[in-house]
Amino acid sequence: MNGDNHKNQQNCHWPIHQPRTIAWVVALWLGGWFPSHGQIELTMDKSSLQWGERATLCATWTTEASALGLDSIWWPAWQDTTAGGLEILEDLPSDTLPAPVDENADIQLQKCWVVTSWDSGFVVVPPLAVGNQVSNALMVDVLTPALSDDASPAPPMDIVAFEQSLWDRVRAAIPWLLALAGLALLGWLVKHFGRVTTRVSRDEDHSPPPRPPHEIALGILNRLLAEEAWLKGRAKDVHVEAGLAVRHYLEGRFGMPAAEKTTGEVRAMMKGSEVPTAWQSRLLDIMDTADQVKFAKAELPALTHQSLLKAYISFVETTSPEVP
């Protein structure tokens, strides 16, 4: 009797070790753990599929328009696989449909994916959470291909000789040809701009040398002498420009920093300078006379203005270096 009871108890055990049973248990457990609100339904157009067979998985949300929030319509962002392991072949766009007449709702929001699987057995898609709503769980049976009893592996195929056509070879060589053309263009640009840079450098090297100090000074003094601006009441301007021209000449010719110096400061530097002795006192007398016009507003005869400018010109001409 005890033996029969023990045997009956063994026969009543649920074969939970089988994969099919385990998948059912998981699906039922997930569906009970995530309670469905009855608004989102997870469906598939096939309850079972062969390896690689396409199926459409859809999530349908039936609700009232007033119940939709800003964060309520974000479907799961699945990339390559769904939750549960189905491979996604195509991500279909979302759709909005009118709710069925027998439903106490306004609209249906639907999102679908084209899926498949390459693993045999049961695949469980867990409940889908959208906003604050949770769908049902879904289980799909993936079947292995049906083989006949006498099926055997196919024999190895022979190696197929394949010869590319001329167009195929040209098309395959196009990227390399474009790369070579790009390198040739880059080399030409580098060479061209190198020539331009060299030519610009040569032009800069052949730029005319700066004019010597005596030419600059003589140009200014001769212009002032020809203009005779003292006859127009501009005697002070004439001697200011003439004195500055002579001071720049002293700086460029003899190295005396006289450009911004007064006549008294120039006198202090004159004794130790290379200015010829015969010209030192005479040049200082010319500067003193010009200072009377610049600062004391002295009235000088027209011939005196001419004499001062001619004396400046004579100083520059007799002290300028000899040009070979």
Spatial distance between the Cα atoms of 313 and 317, rounded to a whole number of angstroms: 6
Tell me the Ramachandran region of residue 117: left when phi exceeds 0, alpha when psi lies from -120 to 50, beta otherwise: beta
Q: What is the mean pLDDT of the chain?
A: 79
Q: Coil, strand or helix: which one is 157?
A: coil
The pLDDT score that the predictor gives to residue 202 is 61
169 pLDDT exceeds 70? yes
Spatial distance between the Cα atoms of 142 and 23, rounded to a whole number of angstroms: 12
Architecture of the domain whose range is 9-143: Sandwich (2.60)
Return the structure tokens found at 306. Answer: 């001419």
Is residue 117 classed exposed, middle or buried when 0-12, 13-18 and 19+ CB atoms within 10 A define those classes?
buried
* Averaged pLDDT, 66-73: 56
Closest CA to 42 of 30, 54, 50, 52: 30
* Residues in Cβ contact with 106 at an 8 Å cutoff, skipping those fewer than 6 apart: 63, 64, 65, 66, 98, 99
Most confident of 31-35, 152-156, 257-261: 257-261
Which tens digit of pLDDT belongs to each residue from 195-226? 767 666 665 556 678 889 999 999 999 999 99
Spatial distance between the Cα atoms of 310 and 250, rounded to a whole number of angstroms: 17
Is residue 239 classed exposed, middle or buried when 0-12, 13-18 and 19+ CB atoms within 10 A define those classes?
buried
